[in-house]
């Protein structure tokens, strides 16, 4: 295969210190430390995951809630540094991880475009040139000077998508954000993504919406308990996932996952 | 260690646009909603000064020339360090929505907090100069030394801010503990009183106080009209570098945990 790798994740492990073990105050820490009562308990969100994605691939990541999908995406985006293993990406990686990622609710839409652009590594002059186009794509001309806290969820998502995809990235990471926005905006998103695909942009899409995954992706990875359970063509992996998830005792998990 | 310090510095330089946007945002959020806007920055020290001058010059009766200037020139610098370090205890939590989703070296947020405090401090030099003119205290050429004193204070404040931000992200009660520490610290620094009223057996308390050196090298060119002596300057430089090195070292070691904790 002559293609170069866009994402190279090797033997990555991520461990969280689980929430109820976290000691939030120094006072408590000091008391427990004196009593010798600190227990470090860890939750393995990812366990020795290796994932190689070639440039131009559209990868879907599926799995149950808490399986480690979002963690994997955050590791690729460098938001989380893994405890073990290596992560390498080629070119500009643009994360679309959550609604309002990198926005400040107190600032206006206009100011947020510059803030978000700066976080993605763009200069101010560059953002000034792109400004009109970003606002137009998001369809927010009338509201651009209002503070972001007055925006609806859909409006925030539109602005985020518009900024992140204004320049063609090399790798686009998407976590469940395409489901927001009205029909018209969704159509615009799909159109833009199709154009990217023709240009050879690499996609990683995390979603519970299995039909969307099947439609958009050329390859699907199923994550279960922090490990890669299956990796292959969308139809096969999705079938294996739904088959396993529908097994007795897992009906509820399945309903949450698909619903 | 120096190579990884260099790497962090390069990461910060790469995000300079973000640094600019964050500082601008900080100043905007702080002043946009107040009627007096930017004037508030200048009015605030002015009011402070009137209160302190009345209390210490009139009530305690320290009898030396232009006590107001003696006090204010030190207080401006103290206030810079106190404000920026206490803002930085909460700054990572304040920026949590940004940190959680897009990769940016977290030290950028701390530095932005320090720099916006620096802008504040530079603005408060304007009313200070005005007051010096009004009371007839001469402004001498020695003020040309101030950029050096300010730079050292920025190093110190950035180092201490990194240290506090790194700790507070895990233990949020340190924010309150630090407020209490600051209050005591201010009175242990000769800001509102002259050094010579401190009894000899307590002088060591002043000698181990890093803020004493940083405050003095800032005050001497303004109030005394001369350059600080070499011994003072040497120590101020040392505490600034040690603070920056320690703060950076602690913060860097915790940097991996920050995204997990916010």
Domain ranges in chain A are 1-56+64-91+208-259
Q: Identify which has the larger pLDDT, B1 or A98.
A: A98
Distances (CA, A) of A233 to A62, A205, A208, A213, A221: 13, 15, 17, 11, 9
Q: What is the model's pLDDT at position A133? A: 92
What digits encode the pLDDT tens for the residues A126-138? Answer: 999 999 999 998 8
Q: What is the model's pLDDT at position B262? A: 60
Q: What is the model's pLDDT at position A45? A: 83
What digits encode the pLDDT tens for the residues A40-67? Answer: 667 778 888 999 999 888 899 998 887 8
User: Is B180 within 8 Å of chain A by CB?
Assistant: no
Euclidean distance between CA atoms B39 and B150, whole angstroms? 22
- pLDDT of B221 over the 90 cut: yes
Euclidean distance between CA atoms A61 and A219, whole angstroms? 9
Overall average pLDDT of the B182-193 stretch: 91
Percent of chain A with pLDDT over 70: 84
Binding-face residues of A in 181-220 toward B, CB within 8 A: none
Q: Model pTM?
A: 0.81
- B19: nearest Cα among B31, B9, B30, B5: B9
Euclidean distance between CA atoms B9 and B245, whole angstroms? 12
Q: What is the model's pLDDT at position B131? A: 86
* Residues B195 and B215 sit within 8 Å (Cβ to Cβ): no
* Residues A208 and A258 sit within 8 Å (Cβ to Cβ): yes
User: Is B13 within 8 Å of chain A by CB?
Assistant: no
- pLDDT of B39 over the 80 cut: no
Of A9-18, A104-113, A130-139, B91-100, which gets the smallest average pLDDT?
B91-100
Of B96-105, B159-168, B209-218, which gets the smallest average pLDDT?
B96-105
Overall average pLDDT of the B18-33 stretch: 81
DSSP secondary structure of A125-183: HHHHHHHHHHHHHHT-GGGTTSBGGGS-HHHHHHHHHHHHTTSPPSEEEEES-TT-S-H
Q: What is the model's pLDDT at position B212? A: 95
Interface-testing mutation among A12, A13, A19, A26, with chain B (most B C-beta atoms within 10 A): A26
Structure tokens at A176: 């469940």
Euclidean distance between CA atoms A75 and A16, whole angstroms? 13
Tokens 């131009």 — which residue?
A: A56
Structure tokens at B113: 């907090």
What digits encode the pLDDT tens for the residues A3-47? Answer: 688 889 998 888 876 555 566 777 777 777 777 666 666 777 888
Query: What is Dmax (Cα atoms) for chain A?
Result: 62
Q: Collect all residues of chain B within an 8 Å Cβ-Cβ radius of residue A98.
A: 100-101
Q: What is the model's pLDDT at position A242? A: 86
CB-count burial class (<10 Å; 0-12, 13-18, 19+) for A3: exposed
Structure tokens at B141: 């050429």
The chain A residue lying nearest B19, using CA atoms, is A118
Q: Collect all residues of chain B within an 8 Å Cβ-Cβ radius of residue A17.
A: 260
Q: Collect all residues of chain B within an 8 Å Cβ-Cβ radius of residue A79.
A: 99-103, 259
Percent of chain B with pLDDT over 70: 89
Estimate the crossing angle of helix B16-32 against helix B107-135, to 10 degrees: 50
Euclidean distance between CA atoms B201 and B161, whole angstroms? 31
For strands A42-54 and A58-62, give the pairing. Answer: unpaired
Q: What is the model's pLDDT at position A259? A: 40
Q: What is the model's pLDDT at position A258? A: 46
Taking the CA of residue B163 and the nearest CA in chain A, the distance in Å comes to 15
* Residues B137 and B222 sit within 8 Å (Cβ to Cβ): no
- pLDDT of A250 over the 50 cut: no
Binary contact (B171, A100; C-beta < 8 A): no
- pLDDT of A101 over the 60 cut: yes
What is the Cα gyration radius of chain B? 19
User: Is A35 within 8 Å of chain B by CB?
Assistant: no
Task: Provide the pLDDT confidence category of residue B86 given band limits of 50, 70 and 90.
Answer: very high
Q: What is the model's pLDDT at position A179? A: 62
- Of B103, B172, B174, which is closest to A78 when you measure between CB atoms? B103
Overall average pLDDT of the A90-110 stretch: 79
- pLDDT of A71 over the 80 cut: yes
What digits encode the pLDDT tens for the residues B130-153? Answer: 888 988 889 888 999 999 999 999
Percent of chain A with pLDDT over 90: 13
B183 C-beta neighbours (distance < 10 Å), count: 11
- pLDDT of B78 over the 50 cut: yes
Euclidean distance between CA atoms B176 and B189, whole angstroms? 20
Q: Identify which has the larger pLDDT, A178 or A206.
A: A206
Q: Quick one: A1-56+64-91+208-259 is in which CATH superfamily?
A: P-loop containing nucleotide triphosphate hydrolases (3.40.50.300)
Q: Identify which has the larger pLDDT, B56 or A259.
A: B56
Q: Identify which has the larger pLDDT, B135 or B46.
A: B135
Task: Provide the pLDDT confidence category of residue A255 given band limits of 50, 70 and 90.
Answer: very low
Binary contact (A77, B103; C-beta < 8 A): yes
Pairs across A and B, CB distance < 8 A: 84
Q: Is A254 helix (H, G, I), strand (E, B) or coil?
A: helix
- pLDDT of B85 over the 60 cut: yes
B260 C-beta neighbours (distance < 10 Å), count: 17
Task: Provide the pLDDT confidence category of residue A196 given band limits of 50, 70 and 90.
Answer: confident
């Amino acid at each position: 295969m002559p293609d170069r790798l866009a994402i190279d994740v090797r033997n990555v492990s991520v461990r969280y210190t689980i929430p109820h073990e976290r000691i939030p105050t120094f006072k408590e820490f000091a008391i427990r430390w004196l009593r010798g009562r600190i227990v470090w308990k860890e939750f393995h969100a990812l366990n020795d995951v290796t994932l190689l994605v070639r440039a131009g691939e559209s990868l879907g990541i599926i799995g149950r809630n808490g399986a480690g999908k979002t963690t994997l995406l955050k590791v690729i985006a460098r938001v989380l540094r893994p405890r073990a293993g290596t992560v390498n990406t080629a070119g500009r990686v643009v994360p679309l991880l959550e609604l309002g990622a990198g926005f400040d609710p107190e600032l206006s839409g206009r100011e947020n475009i510059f803030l978000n652009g700066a976080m993605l590594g763009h200069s101010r002059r560059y953002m000034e040139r792109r400004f009109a186009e970003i606002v137009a794509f998001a369809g927010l001309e009338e509201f651009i000077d209002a503070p972001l806290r007055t925006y609806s969820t859909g409006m925030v998502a539109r602005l985020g998508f518009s900024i992140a995809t204004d320049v063609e990235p090399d790798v686009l990471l998407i976590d469940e954000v395409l489901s927001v926005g009205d029909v018209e905006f969704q159509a615009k998103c799909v159109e833009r993504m199709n154009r990217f695909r023709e240009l050879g942009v690499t996609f990683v899409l995390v979603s519970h919406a299995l039909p969307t995954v099947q439609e958009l992706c050329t390859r699907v990875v199923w994550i279960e308990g922090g490990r890669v359970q299956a990796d292959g063509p969308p139809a096969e992996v999705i079938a294996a996932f739904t088959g396993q998830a529908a097994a007795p005792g897992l009906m509820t998990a399945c309903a949450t996952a698909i619903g | 260690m120096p190579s990884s310090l260099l790497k962090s510095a390069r990461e910060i330089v790469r995000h300079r646009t973000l640094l600019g946007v964050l500082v601008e945002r900080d100043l905007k959020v702080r002043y946009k909603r107040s009627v007096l806007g930017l004037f508030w920055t200048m009015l605030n020290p002015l009011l402070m000064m009137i209160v302190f001058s009345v209390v210490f010059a009139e009530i305690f009766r320290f009898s030396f020339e232009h006590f107001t200037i003696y006090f204010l020139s030190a207080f401006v610098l103290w206030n810079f360090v106190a404000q920026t370090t206490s803002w930085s205890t909460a700054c990572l939590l304040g920026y949590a929505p940004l940190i959680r989703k897009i990769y940016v070296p977290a030290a950028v947020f701390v530095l932005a907090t320090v720099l916006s405090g620096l802008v504040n401090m530079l603005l408060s030099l304007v009313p200070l100069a005005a007051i010096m003119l009004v009371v007839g205290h001469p402004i001498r050429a020695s003020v040309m030394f101030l950029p050096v004193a300010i730079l050292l204070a920025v190093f110190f404040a950035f180092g201490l801010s990194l240290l506090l931000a790194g700790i507070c992200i895990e233990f949020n009660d340190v924010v309150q503990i630090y407020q209490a520490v600051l209050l005591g610290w201010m009175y242990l620094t000769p800001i509102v009183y002259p050094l010579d009223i401190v009894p000899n057996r307590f002088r060591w308390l002043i000698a181990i106080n890093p803020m004493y050196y940083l405050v003095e090298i800032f005050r001497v060119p303004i109030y005394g009209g001369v350059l600080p002596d070499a011994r003072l300057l040497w120590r101020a430089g040392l505490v600034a570098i040690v603070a920056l090195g320690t703060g950076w070292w602690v913060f860097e070691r915790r940097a991996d945990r920050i995204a997990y904790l916010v």
